[in-house]
């Protein structure tokens, strides 16, 4: 579009957007200006770091990848290996049930079986029927279209609970969204969902994930008397919010270049608690007065026991 045309239509567009933002009760619309500001700020960041010339110590998976020079095809972005290690290492040597969507040439399902160990069960999903040839002891291959909800509704009840799901399939946002919504409820508490190859600054799957994040920060405040009973030890003051279903289900959402990770809560909690421990406070423990918090959130029992 010619710049002169853009200049003519921009004021009108901005007026419409401003009116939409001011009168909307939808957070993803109401906070468009803040999102735009963050987008612009990201473009101003500059890295002063210089390559050290010293390679980081290889993870076990990266060492396997580099040693794998013949045989079944194995294709990974190198910066994925530390991410794998961070979230997958706790499952090594356990009877983990690992699903990888996108089998391709079969090298990765072998890598995962080697990494997690003989107790693991690797389930590969691919749309290409020829991938059935990669089935072997400990590795099962399922054929189907990850972008088809009927495929998931047909197989997941038979597959059973999963510990880790890695989406390295078709890489289209519609496929990724369909897959996440189908498999996330089938991941066990403490399990991990990973989606790879989220490419492009305007990627629709990125925007979808951005719609999940605000639900981590929902605040349903609890009364004083209930809040002080929720800490591990008796406290004088506490603030607590009752966990939503989303907060009890999801403990974290992480973003890396081309990768998103969602953690299922290992131990869902009734509430998120912020106790005040100690007896000496700069302002007498009345921080809420400067923070704009409601004083009714707090209690001030002098003996450290919850009030009657």
pLDDT bin (cut points 50, 70, 90) of residue 278 is confident
pLDDT bin (cut points 50, 70, 90) of residue 301 is very low
User: What H or E segment, with its residue span, contains residue 300?
Assistant: none
**CB of 238 closer than 8 Å to CB of 207:** no
- Provide CATH code, domain 72-197: 3.40.50.150
Q: Where are the domains of the chain?
A: 72-197
- Predicted pLDDT at 182: 98
Helix axes 173-183, 204-212, angle to 10 degrees: 30
The most confident of 50-54, 174-178, 267-271, 292-296, by mean pLDDT: 174-178
- Predicted pLDDT at 33: 82
Average pLDDT, the chain: 85
Percentages helix, strand, coil for the chain (3-state, rounded to 5) are: 40, 20, 40
Q: Is the pLDDT of residue 308 over 80?
A: no
Helix axes 60-67, 107-116, angle to 10 degrees: 140
Percent of the chain with pLDDT over 90: 64
Q: Is the pLDDT of residue 234 over 80?
A: no
Q: Is the pLDDT of residue 102 over 70?
A: yes
What mean pLDDT comes out for the span 288-301? 47
| Global pTM value | 0.84
How many other C-beta atoms are found inside a 10 Å radius of the C-beta of residue 172?
13
């Amino acid at each position: 579009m010619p710049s002169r045309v853009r200049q003519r239509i921009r004021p009108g567009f901005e007026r419409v957007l401003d009116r939409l933002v001011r009168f909307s009760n939808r957070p993803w619309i109401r906070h468009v200006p803040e999102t735009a500001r963050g987008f612009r700020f990201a473009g101003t960041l500059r890295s002063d770091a210089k390559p050290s010339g010293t390679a980081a110590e290889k993870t076990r998976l990266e060492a396997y990848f580099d040693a794998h020079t013949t045989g079944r095809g194995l294709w990974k972005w190198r910066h994925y290996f530390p991410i794998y290690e961070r979230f997958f290492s706790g499952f090594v040597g356990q009877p983990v049930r690992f699903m990888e969507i996108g089998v391709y040439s079969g090298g990765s399902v072998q890598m995962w079986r080697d990494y997690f160990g003989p107790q693991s069960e690797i389930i590969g999903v691919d749309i290409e029927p020829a991938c059935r040839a990669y089935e072997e002891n400990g590795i099962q291959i399922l054929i189907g279209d990850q972008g088809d909800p009927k495929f998931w509704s047909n197989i997941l009840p038979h597959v059973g609970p999963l510990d880790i799901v890695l989406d390295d399939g078709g890489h289209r946002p519609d496929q990724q969204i369909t897959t996440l919504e189908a498999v996330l409820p089938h991941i066990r508490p403490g399990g991990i969902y990973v989606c790879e190859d989220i490419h492009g600054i305007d990627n629709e799957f990125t925007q979808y994930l951005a719609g999940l994040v605000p639900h981590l920060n929902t605040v349903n405040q609890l009364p004083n008397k209930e809040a002080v009973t929720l800490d591990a030890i008796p406290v004088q003051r506490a603030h607590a919010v009752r966990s939503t279903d989303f907060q009890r289900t999801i403990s974290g959402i992480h973003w890396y270049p081309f990768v998103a990770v969602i953690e299922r809560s290992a131990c869902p909690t009734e509430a998120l608690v912020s106790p005040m421990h100690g007896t000496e406070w700069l302002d007498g423990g009345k921080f809420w007065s400067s923070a704009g918090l409601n004083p009714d959130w707090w209690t001030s029992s002098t003996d450290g026991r919850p009030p009657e």
